Structures are given as C-alpha cells and as structure tokens.
C-alpha cells in the first residue's frame, strides 16, 4: 500500500489492537483524550464552577461546536448548530421546508434510513401533504414537490449519491432539498455552501466519534435563516432567551434552530473528539477510505455464498456491505473472533472503515476471519 498520511492519527484513539473494529459507521471509536476532558467538565466546570459555567462558555457551545462540524461539511461559520438528535433536527428541517408551501408532496428516498421515513410520514400527516418514495438514482421531481429528502450515503448498501446533480435537479423543479449526512460526515469532502443545499442534518457519533448519543447537527445557510420557521419554538432558540418574555421571537441566526437546554457533557465530549480532525485533510480521508474499501472488497469477492452489494465505483461511502443468507450468525461468530462489524436484517453484513484509525492490515484480518468461517 502507498504511504498513509493518516497513520499517525490512529495513535490518538483508544483502541484494542486485538480487536478489528469495523463498525465506525454505527459508533465511532473514542479518541484517547476525551475521557480526561469529560472528567474536567464534571469535576471543574460543573463541580467547581457550578452554574457559573453557563456564562463561562457553556451557553455558546452549540454554535461553537457547530462551526467545528461545519468545517467538515463545507459550511462557513454561523450556519451549523449542534443540538438534539438527528430525528428531531430532521423534523425541524422538513417542517420549515414545507411551511407555507402551495405544493402537495414530500419526496423521500425509497431506501432511506427508517427514522427518516418515519419523520417524513409524520410531517406529511401533520401538514396534509402526500409522501412519495422514489429511487434517488431515478429521481422524479414535479411541480407538486415541495421538498426532497435524501440520504447522502445509503446506510444499507453504502451507495453514495451525487449531491451536486440531485440538488440542482430539485432546484430546477422549484423544490427544496434536505440531505441526511449521517453516513457521510467525516467520510468525504462535502460542500454544502458551494452546492446551494437548502438544509442538512446529521449525527456525530459515527465517523465524527462523538460518543453514544452525542448531539446531532443541523445546517441552515445564512441566506435562509430569516425564513427558517421551525415548529419546536423552545426557549434557547429565542432571540433573548433570558428575557423570559411570553411571546416567542426567534434568534436572527442559526441559533433559532435550537430548542431546549444543551446536553453539555455530551456536547463537550464531542468538542474534545473533534480535536482529532485538526490538521486532517478530508481529501486524504476520502482517498484512504476508497483504498481501504477497495482492498477489503478484493479479498471477500468470490467467497462462498457472498454477494457484495456496495458499488464497485467511487460512488460509495466508507463501508462494504455483503449479502449472505446466514449473515446474522456469521456476524455473531466474527464478533466472537474479535472482528466487529454489524448485521442488518435480513441478510446484510456491514463493515465500516474509518480512515482515521482503520488500517489495511485490519482489512486483511477481517477478510481472513470471514473466509475461515465460510
């Protein structure tokens, strides 16, 4: 393999060298320094400074950490806020996108991650719009379409969509587009600002390594913030949250996407985890991810009963998905042997490759374990 410009980054993670961890597309590994940073938050910021910490940096944390995430998804400062969960942020985004529309439908990726489909259906029911599922590779947007919801990387197959082309197609039909970046943030260069994306959401506990249940993020471009009217008008989204006035007036900027009190401990754990991205070029991350997945694919293609369902082209995320009739049992046995991927019913094995810490040697160990089982 060529020299790995990211090899040194692995040392920043707390990993067991006896385990091959290929499930970073579900839960990223912890950077070593996060535990000590969280201890400081609990002992000093909370335990020592008590409520004074709110005015010593806590209150602005969602926007500050949002800007750090924004750098990784192509958003200039002031357009990303970290808050709530992906599902909650998606609800905000879709409701804001269809507010006041005279159009009649929401279009959703037919293979979408289930929660996206559930939220989209709830929004359709609440607003009286129709919900139409489509294959995004044959996207059909009509004058009736108010908004299109798309997953940048398919969670099951790893297929990557062309954000530029599909965003342009939706806009040409007068529709807005909301992108779910859960499986692409921290995987490849994303250019939300340059491509004119209307709204985007994503989680931080996968390739961004924020920890289990770490808060999600929402992107609202500067030009759209004045018209971003989301339905969850909580006090922290108010322009003067501590004025405690009876009427709601939204913050003029991206803070209007906030709802309730920030999850400070989780958010500051994410803040610490994002340090591993300092000095990292996403082009290097993307190049290594494509090389890792190509190498692993070359080792597992042709194994008995295995069908590779991840695209054999650059139009993929950083995972390799295999179909096998005994997928659930195979993954259970792989985990017993120290190779951790995951299973998606009924018959899919997923192996996620995080370029910041996964190695080519780990790809070979995983493939050899699978071959031995088969």
Q: What sign results for the dihedral spanned by CA atoms 267, 272, 275, 277?
A: negative
Selecting among 84, 180, 251, 342, the annotated active-site residue is 180
Examine the residue annotation and report whether 350 is marked as an active-site residue of this protein. yes
Residue with tokens 């269809």: 98
Residue tagged active-site, from 13, 21, 155, 205: 205
Q: Which of 350, 351, 353, 357 is catalytic?
A: 350
Identify the active-site residue in 13, 21, 91, 113. 113
Q: State yes or no: is 206 an active-site residue.
A: yes
Told to judge if 132 belongs to the known catalytic residues of this protein, a careful annotator would answer no
Alpha-carbon distances, residue 3 vs 121, 138, 160, 174, 359 (angstroms): 47, 39, 26, 46, 12
Catalytic-residue membership of 113 = yes
Positive or negative CA dihedral for 342, 114, 290, 218? negative
| Count of CB atoms situated within 10 Å of the CB of 263 | 19
Q: For this structure, is 64 an active site residue?
A: no
Candidate list 206, 258, 288, 297, residue with the active-site label: 206
- Residues annotated as catalytic (active site), given as ranges: 113, 180, 205-206, 350
């Amino acid at each position: 393999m060529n020299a790995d410009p990211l090899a040194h980054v692995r040392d920043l993670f707390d990993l067991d060298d006896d385990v091959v961890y290929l499930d970073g597309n579900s839960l990223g590994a912890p950077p070593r320094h996060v535990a000590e940073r969280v201890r400081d938050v609990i002992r000093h910021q909370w335990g020592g400074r008590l409520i004074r910490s709110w005015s010593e940096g806590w209150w602005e944390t969602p926007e500050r950490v949002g800007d750090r995430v924004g750098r990784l998804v192509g958003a200039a400062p002031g357009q990303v806020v970290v808050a709530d969960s992906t599902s909650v942020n998606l609800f905000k985004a879709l409701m804001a996108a269809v507010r006041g529309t005279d159009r009649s439908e929401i279009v959703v990726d037919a293979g979408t991650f289930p929660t996206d489909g559930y939220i989209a259906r709830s929004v359709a029911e609440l607003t009286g719009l129709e919900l139409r599922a489509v294959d995004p590779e044959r996207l059909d947007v009509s004058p009736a379409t108010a908004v299109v919801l798309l997953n940048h990387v398919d969670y099951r197959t790893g297929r990557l969509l062309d954000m530029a082309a599909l965003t342009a197609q939706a806009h040409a039909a007068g529709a807005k587009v909301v992108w779910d970046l859960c499986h692409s943030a921290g995987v490849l260069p994303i250019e939300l600002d340059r491509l004119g994306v209307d709204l985007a959401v994503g989680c931080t506990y996968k390739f961004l390594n924020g920890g289990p249940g770490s808060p999600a993020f929402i992107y609202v471009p500067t030009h759209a913030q004045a018209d971003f009217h989301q339905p969850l008008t909580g006090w922290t989204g108010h322009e003067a949250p501590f004025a405690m006035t009876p009427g709601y007036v939204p913050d003029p900027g991206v803070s209007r996407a906030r709802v309730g009190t920030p999850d400070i401990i989780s958010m500051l754990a994410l803040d610490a985890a994002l340090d591993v991205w300092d000095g990292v070029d996403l082009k290097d991350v993307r190049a290594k991810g494509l090389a890792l997945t190509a190498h692993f694919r070359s080792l597992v293609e042709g194994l008995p009963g295995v069908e590779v369902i991840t695209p054999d082209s650059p139009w993929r995320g950083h995972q390799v998905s295999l179909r096998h009739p005994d997928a659930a049992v195979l993954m259970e046995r792989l985990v017993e042997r120290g190779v951790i991927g995951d299973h998606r019913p009924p018959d899919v094995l997923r192996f996620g490759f995080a370029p910041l810490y996964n190695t080519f040697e780990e790809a070979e160990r995983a493939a050899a374990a699978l071959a031995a089982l088969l």
